[in-house]
Structure 1
């Protein structure tokens, strides 16, 4: 329970590497033993992708001059023995900045010009246009060059009042929220709209993404940041100044962008930074601590949080302590308390969810493979009984058996028409389900809200339009759930009938969990309604701002619907692939039986040879279950794997996974 944020993330990265390697071995073994149909292959690929691409995003949010960048330096970059993120006095991070690691991209700082706000594309769309970003290559071995390059995130432009209005930084109705005017009557605004920092920092290589956001004015002016990026962060660290507590602008950020219901506060941490400003030589340590505790409890009460979610810290002293290896100063800074809260709160919760999800996926794979092995064993046993019954029989009996097998094959082929009919009904319902979750349906359901948001002036009825739109979206998901339940019941009935008639071992895949997407829709609605406070309602009087809100909302909802569609497609593919695999196996089995009887008819000595051969195959198939359990046990028990990783000697590891070629190769032929 004393693992720091870095230690726990390191262990999580080691688990991800171990999982990817074991998943690859499982895939290769399934292919070698012809247990890997298209559905299994797709599940393996998605499990690997889920673990490979998993990110833990921590968003740091604060008004200006709260020490946010210094806190990021102290937690993540003290190993450079200097400041990396700009953290001088005054406004430093002027634009939202994401720090992460993509091995496909060179270490670099990419900056999106602020002028792109004048165009309709949202941030997610600009990410797909790399040529519009201004790029600076980074030398990660030169901390001075790295720090100098990152100073660019604090660059500003000076523009006229009209330009500031057009870009969303000046509002005549909100004079107290406007940036300062220069002596020449110009407005100081960020030079960049968004920054992406790509560096192979050990924590970033383990899947950490840091989102550094500027103050209230810049947060409110970028809807996609507020309603998409911050709500999706796994942890949000909100920084206050210890000497001032919760100010009016702090409260505006919290109320409009960060507050959550009472039962969902695990994803929120509040940092009372700069507690060193309260260290007073004229006060006793006990008096100083009483003042910190009082400010902590007051802040927690104002924000509606448990007091343990408010952590007092001195980021500057913590950074200095790490650079100088001063243990006493580090403990006085209380920075380790914050790191532990991050590690054992949101990070641990996120990791538990991921590990449980992949373990459930592996459990389904193992169950399907076990059913296929059992089916193969049963067919081998039936062939063995059949062939042993031919001992001592004359050629007429053998010919009769051959005719009976051919008749069984013909009857089996005739059942294909019934299977085709079941598939036709299944595909018809599936098309209805996919249309409900498709882009065209989403666009239609959003038409009223889109129209309301794009009307000029103050949009007084927009909250009602939001309510009606989200009611329709939830109703669509509920209809989709009803159709998926109908398909699931129909497939279950068809699979049971086929199992009874033909001795199949068809196992209907678990029905897709569409209810969780309803929860995602609820979160989107909540974040948007929270965003529609008085301040942002005034901003939305501008057509360009409203258009960015529409695009941000559409982007998020489309992502949810695409994820739901992916679940449905995987479910459908798993069911179809399982049926196709057993049909192929049964046809091959008929061919093998006819061939064996034909060979026996021609040479009586072949009968005992074939029985011996089948006995050998039966023994090999019996061993498959043991090997399957051996390969899947570590994947099903993340806790045991983590314990092994923790107890093993820590070696320097590269988080880049080996390419899983086995996921893209056809299964190897089995000698039989």
Structure 2
């Protein structure tokens, strides 16, 4: 049986990234070999390769318990026989996911399961932050060659235990007045998951190429895991809401969809277990009508295009893939879902990564081209002046030497001006980082937390959180003002050196804080929705939950600031590197010109020898320019994503 369109497209995307990494690395080595690179350019290209190699595509699955979520994951991704199936399916028994579980592959680690203890929920740190501290995680080795051993290891993920109700309250997993499964037993204990988060490092070909599958807890657990709803799900490239076809969209499904799943590209609804309707509804025609009605209801309730609602039977689809039954696979509805994921996810991810790489490569190749063109112009200028000296006396050569010396001194004065402008630029940069700095954010975070702890009434809590978001937004806006000042300053500096010294410099690349401001807006809207929900609760418990919610929310703001800082660092490197490189190049050429004329004047070199030497240099530079254009063409070709048709790949 041929690979599904999704698996085929994902493998093609992985091959595209690998080929592009090779081309970029070859370009980096060419720069070094031709004395056109420097430490900063080398670092930027290495970072670009690492970013491509480490790119990940996150697909999240959310559902009520026992809606066949794990079965759907296996049917889509792990039914090709290249690796053992995940233990829950291999065991033939349904399991429920009770903590967020990531399926991925990190080559730097052996196959294993990493488990973060539930006790860490009592701290302010997010599970993402805990990933920097491996000693906090329990590690269970995975023997990928033994299905039984893997099953035993996997059972750790869904372990539960009973803890005192007060501990469960500190973890945010219970509150006074809770009923049902969350109610304390006779001994005053509450059942909670043993683990806050699980990471399964599994060497499957798709995971090796950057696929990350997020298997989430049931909807009730999702509501308790603030990090999952604030960050993980909104940032996933695809989110599949899995509902039971016979029950349709429940109130829990609807609440999650409206409150937690951010409407954007890559959002789908799956009506699983349609095989239960095959017999119940009689004929195929009646079955088709019944399924169509469920699709319409789902589309209407979720306010989602019906084309993004997929009726499937994960169980039958998995069986069909394993047995090679094409007719059963088609009836399961799985190929249509896989095709939708393939045609939306992969092209969208390629568009984002391709634009990022293209912008960085063009910036660097333009700088290299400008440097070579400046070098060639300088050589041609020297040739013209030396050819003019043919037949002239020594005094004329002395005059030219004085002229070049004066030009060198003039440029030295301009360099002093350049350094002064660098000082002004540095001041703007410092102010930008002051507003964007983690220290200022931590101060705002601490003040808001203290205000919330002192408040016993809702208005005080609301005021503290509103002030926190206002300060965060103000910091980003002030940073954006400094970015604009830096851009204006650099553009003026580029023009000055271009007009007065012939340096060919393209306009500085743009940078905007808009995406980070939008992320803060999203987080604030999430806070407002959750705040209104918590207001209805009892006062003491409300304040405790609000503080926990705020800490989780603030950690996501911190993450946003971290991204903004890294992007600002890269942007500053990108705008300064071309200028610094061309200034050094111009200095070097002036020094060489002066030394060349000095040698001719002192009769240590003949005029003809020097002209021949410069002609050879000009040919070499022209050859480098030709080679650069070929490299640019090769890189541009590599940036195009061309998947082999599925029929040819089968």
Partner of 2:505: 506
Q: 1:170 to 1:549 in 2, by over 3 A?
A: closer
Q: 1:509 to 1:444 in 2, by over 3 A?
A: same
For 1:297 and 1:282, locate their aligned partners in 2 and report how far apart those are by CA, in whole Å.
17
Deviation at 1:281?
6.2
Deviation at 1:325?
1.5
Residues 226-250 of structure 1, C-alpha deviations (whole Å, 9 max, x = no match): 2121111111111111111111222
- How large is the RMSD of aligned CA atoms in angstroms? 2.8
Deviation at 1:278?
0.8
Residues 319-377 of structure 1, C-alpha deviations (whole Å, 9 max, x = no match): 11112111111111111111112111233312221112211221222222221111111
Partner of 1:394: 393
Residues 102-135 of structure 1, C-alpha deviations (whole Å, 9 max, x = no match): 1111110111222222344321232222222221
Other structure's SS at 2:155 match: helix
Alignment of 1:12-161 (within 5 A): 12-80=13-81, 83-86=85-88, 92-161=96-165
1:169 counterpart = 2:173: yes
Deviation at 1:91?
5.1
Q: Say which is worse superposed, 204-213 or 244-253, in terms of deviation.
A: 244-253
1:363 counterpart = 2:367: no
Partner of 1:427: 426
For 1:648 and 1:271, locate their aligned partners in 2 and report how far apart those are by CA, in whole Å.
27
Partner of 1:255: 258
Asked if 2 retains the 8 angstrom alpha-carbon contact of 1:11 and 1:646, the reply is no
Residues 163-202 of structure 1, C-alpha deviations (whole Å, 9 max, x = no match): 43343333333425x4477797754322221111001111
Partner of 1:223: 226
Residues 420-479 of structure 1, C-alpha deviations (whole Å, 9 max, x = no match): 221111111111111111112223444564345545767466556544433443333222
For 2:134 and 2:271, locate their aligned partners in 1 and report how far apart those are by CA, in whole Å.
38
Q: 1:445 to 1:108 in 2, by over 3 A?
A: same
Q: 1:414 to 1:315 in 2, by over 3 A?
A: same
Deviation at 1:100?
0.8
Deviation at 1:305?
0.8
Q: Say which is worse superposed, 240-249 or 519-528, in terms of deviation.
A: 519-528
Q: 1:412 to 1:160 in 2, by over 3 A?
A: closer
Asked if 1 retains the 8 angstrom alpha-carbon contact of 2:266 and 2:341, the reply is no
Partner of 1:668: none
Asked if 1 retains the 8 angstrom alpha-carbon contact of 2:112 and 2:139, the reply is yes
Q: 1:459 to 1:11 in 2, by over 3 A?
A: farther
Asked if 1 retains the 8 angstrom alpha-carbon contact of 2:64 and 2:219, the reply is yes
Asked if 2 retains the 8 angstrom alpha-carbon contact of 1:275 and 1:312, the reply is yes
Q: 1:244 to 1:143 in 2, by over 3 A?
A: same
Alignment of 1:583-598 (within 5 A): 583-598=583-598
Partner of 2:341: 342
For 2:578 and 2:20, locate their aligned partners in 1 and report how far apart those are by CA, in whole Å.
25
Asked if 2 retains the 8 angstrom alpha-carbon contact of 1:257 and 1:531, the reply is no
TM-score calculated relative to the size of structure 1: 0.89
Deviation at 1:146?
2.2
Which of the residues 201, 204, 211 maps onto 1:201? 204
TM-score calculated relative to the size of structure 2: 0.92
Q: 1:519 to 1:118 in 2, by over 3 A?
A: closer
Asked if 2 retains the 8 angstrom alpha-carbon contact of 1:300 and 1:306, the reply is yes
Other structure's SS at 1:568 match: helix
Asked if 1 retains the 8 angstrom alpha-carbon contact of 2:62 and 2:218, the reply is yes
Q: 1:82 to 1:99 in 2, by over 3 A?
A: closer
Give the unaligned 5+ runs of structure 1: 652-672
Asked if 2 retains the 8 angstrom alpha-carbon contact of 1:236 and 1:269, the reply is yes
Other structure's SS at 1:237 match: strand
Other structure's SS at 2:416 match: helix
Q: 1:649 to 1:295 in 2, by over 3 A?
A: closer
Alignment of 1:207-286 (within 5 A): 207-260=210-263, 264=264, 266-280=265-279, 283-286=282-285
* Runs of 4+ residues over 6 Å off in structure 1: 180-185, 645-651
Residues 283-313 of structure 1, C-alpha deviations (whole Å, 9 max, x = no match): 1101011111101110111111111111111
For 1:470 and 1:44, locate their aligned partners in 2 and report how far apart those are by CA, in whole Å.
36
For 1:353 and 1:226, locate their aligned partners in 2 and report how far apart those are by CA, in whole Å.
24
Asked if 2 retains the 8 angstrom alpha-carbon contact of 1:99 and 1:198, the reply is yes
| Number of residue pairs the alignment of both structures matches | 644
Asked if 1 retains the 8 angstrom alpha-carbon contact of 2:172 and 2:224, the reply is yes
For 1:310 and 1:614, locate their aligned partners in 2 and report how far apart those are by CA, in whole Å.
69
For 1:647 and 1:74, locate their aligned partners in 2 and report how far apart those are by CA, in whole Å.
19
Deviation at 1:315?
0.9
Asked if 1 retains the 8 angstrom alpha-carbon contact of 2:62 and 2:219, the reply is no
Residues 465-523 of structure 1, C-alpha deviations (whole Å, 9 max, x = no match): 54443344333322222222222112211221122222222334213222222222223
For 1:305 and 1:225, locate their aligned partners in 2 and report how far apart those are by CA, in whole Å.
22
Residues 231-281 of structure 1, C-alpha deviations (whole Å, 9 max, x = no match): 111111111111111112222322332253xxx3x2211110111111116
Give the unaligned 5+ runs of structure 2: none
For 2:553 and 2:246, locate their aligned partners in 1 and report how far apart those are by CA, in whole Å.
38
Partner of 1:667: none
Structure with bigger RCO (C-alpha 8 Å, 6+ apart): 1
Partner of 1:373: 372
For 1:439 and 1:5, locate their aligned partners in 2 and report how far apart those are by CA, in whole Å.
40
Asked if 1 retains the 8 angstrom alpha-carbon contact of 2:234 and 2:262, the reply is no
Q: Say which is worse superposed, 550-559 or 19-28, in terms of deviation.
A: 550-559
Partner of 2:611: 611
Partner of 1:600: 600
Deviation at 1:556?
1.9
Q: 1:69 to 1:461 in 2, by over 3 A?
A: farther
Asked if 2 retains the 8 angstrom alpha-carbon contact of 1:458 and 1:537, the reply is no
Asked if 1 retains the 8 angstrom alpha-carbon contact of 2:100 and 2:196, the reply is yes
Q: 1:452 to 1:173 in 2, by over 3 A?
A: farther
Partner of 1:669: none
